[in-house]
């Protein structure tokens, strides 16, 4: 089976290309490299031991996407390509809508044209907003999006739901870590938005310190709680979703099923790497959800997938990757 991976040069897409290839799929990558580099494709190629067809194409460009489908006989699409910085989306909501929702519209149109009816979509737990019940399951209501980025995920899920394609909507919780080889990982361009790349940069001396946004929340140690899952576990979930693709549409939470606080992450990092993390407690950050973790039981039951790697392992892998940058 030949699988088109949009955003395949990115963080999660690149790891998924390795898992797909390990499972015997032929992989074709489309990425405009707006938030990644060709070095990540080279890293994937090194890990799988062969070249991959790579097209530097913007998915918003219908003609160029047509040409890829024309040339390659695509059987299924894994759709990662999107802009993902919540803060930037507040400043540039139109860009986020155009790129993420507009790009998905073009992709769906081209898939229809070429009669490709299998899609796995990168969604996010942001579609739940601040959920009332934790752990959150897939039947939780979509609350009003907390950012234009979150809105694009809700809009894309709706578009895909009405497309008639057989699709899995994968709602990721917090992917962290890197491939254990240290060959591919998260490539933060500019100031990192996520906790782990920032933490690694602080430990590497590239940032003065990590600021923990608030330690007076109603959680065990007062800091916010998230469900951190290893990116390699997440990559494997995509293969499982492709293999068990539903007829029609189905959403799956992808998380570990347990939460770790920000201070807990700092402790786990120090324990698993032996490095100390320079940090201080700062003010709460506006809009932060206090605590969220997944109920991943649907993915376990229907896809036969569950996260198997521990947070400490993911942090050690992230640190190994950071040292190569
Ligand atoms: N990383 C997370 O914490 C997280 C959490 C939930 C959901 N997601 C979603 O998972 C997907 C992948 O995220 P990631 O962390 O790997 O991000 P990433 O930025 O590393 O990867 C996205 C890739 O898509 C490419 N891209 C963006 N717009 C494009 C376009 N118009 N045409 C072609 N390529 C384009 C970028 O160059 C990049 O390589 C995204 O859809 C993101 O919203 C990520």
Going by CA atoms, what residue is nearest to atom 43 of ligand 1?
84
Give the pLDDT confidence score for residue 308 in this predicted structure.
Answer: 97
Q: For position 210, what pLDDT does the model report?
A: 97
The residue whose C-alpha atom lies closest to atom 15 belonging to ligand 1 is: 11
Is residue 150 in contact with ligand 1, taking CB distance under 6 Å? Answer: no
**Cis peptide bond N-terminal to 135, omega within 30:** yes
pTM of the model as a whole: 0.97
Of 11, 58, 127, 169, the residue with max ligand 1 atoms within 8 A of its CB, to mutate for a pocket test, comes to 11
**Below-50 pLDDT ranges, the chain:** none
Q: Give pLDDT, residue 144.
A: 86
Q: What is the pLDDT of residue 131?
A: 86
> Which atom from ligand 1 is nearest to the alpha carbon of 153?
43
Atom of ligand 1 nearest to the CA of 40: 39
Residues marked as catalytic: 149
What pLDDT is recorded for position 151? Answer: 95
DSSP assignment of 46-74 equals: HHHTS---EE---TT-HHHHHHHHHHS--
Domain boundaries, the chain: 2-179+229-255
Q: 81 in ligand 1 pocket by Cβ < 6 Å? A: yes
Instruction: Select the CATH number that applies to the domain covering 2-179+229-255 from these four: 3.40.50.720, 3.90.400.10, 3.40.50.450, 3.30.300.30.
Output: 3.40.50.720
What distance in angstroms lies between residue 135's CA and the mean position of ligand 1's atoms? 25
Strand pairing report for 228-230 and 174-176:
parallel
Q: Give 247 Cα–ligand 1 centroid separation in angstroms.
A: 26
How does strand 260-261 pair with strand 225-226? antiparallel
| The Cα angle at residue 99 between residues 95 and 102, in degrees rounded to 5 | 115
pLDDT at 129: 83
């Amino acid at each position: 089976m030949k699988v088109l991976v949009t955003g395949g040069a990115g963080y999660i897409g690149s790891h998924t290309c390795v898992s797909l290839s390990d499972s015997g799929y032929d992989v074709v990558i489309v990425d405009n490299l707006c938030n990644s580099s060709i070095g990540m494709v080279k890293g994937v190629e090194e890990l799988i031991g062969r070249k991959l067809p790579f097209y530097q194409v913007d998915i918003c460009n219908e003609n160029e996407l047509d040409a890829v489908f024309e040339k390659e006989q695509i059987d299924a699409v894994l759709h990662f390509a999107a802009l993902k910085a919540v803060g930037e989306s507040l400043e540039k909501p139109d860009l986020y809508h155009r790129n993420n929702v507009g790009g998905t519209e073009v992709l769906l149109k081209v898939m229809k044209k070429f009669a490709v009816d299998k899609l796995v979509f990168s969604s996010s737990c942001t579609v739940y907003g601040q959920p009332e019940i934790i752990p959150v399951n897939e039947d939780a209501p979509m609350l009003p999006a907390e950012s234009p980025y979150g809105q694009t995920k809700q809009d894309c899920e709706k578009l895909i739901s009405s497309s008639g394609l057989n699709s899995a909507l994968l709602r990721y919780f917090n992917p962290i870590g890197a491939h254990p080889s240290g060959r591919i990982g998260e490539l933060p361009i500019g100031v990192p938005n996520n906790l782990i790349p920032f933490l690694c940069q602080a430990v590497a001396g590239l940032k003065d310190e990590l600021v923990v946004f608030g330690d007076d929340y109603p959680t065990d140690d007062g800091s916010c709680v998230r469900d951190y899952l290893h990116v390699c576990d997440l990559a494997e979930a995509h293969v499982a979703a492709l293999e068990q693709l539903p007829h029609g549409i189905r959403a799956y939470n992808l998380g570990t099923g347990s939460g770790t606080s920000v201070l807990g992450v700092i402790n786990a990092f120090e324990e698993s790497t032996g490095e100390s993390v320079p940090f201080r407690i700062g003010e709460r950050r506006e809009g932060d959800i206090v605590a969220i973790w997944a109920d991943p039981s649907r993915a376990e039951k229907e896809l036969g997938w569950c996260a198997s790697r521990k947070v400490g392992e993911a942090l050690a892998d992230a640190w190994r990757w950071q040292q190569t940058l």
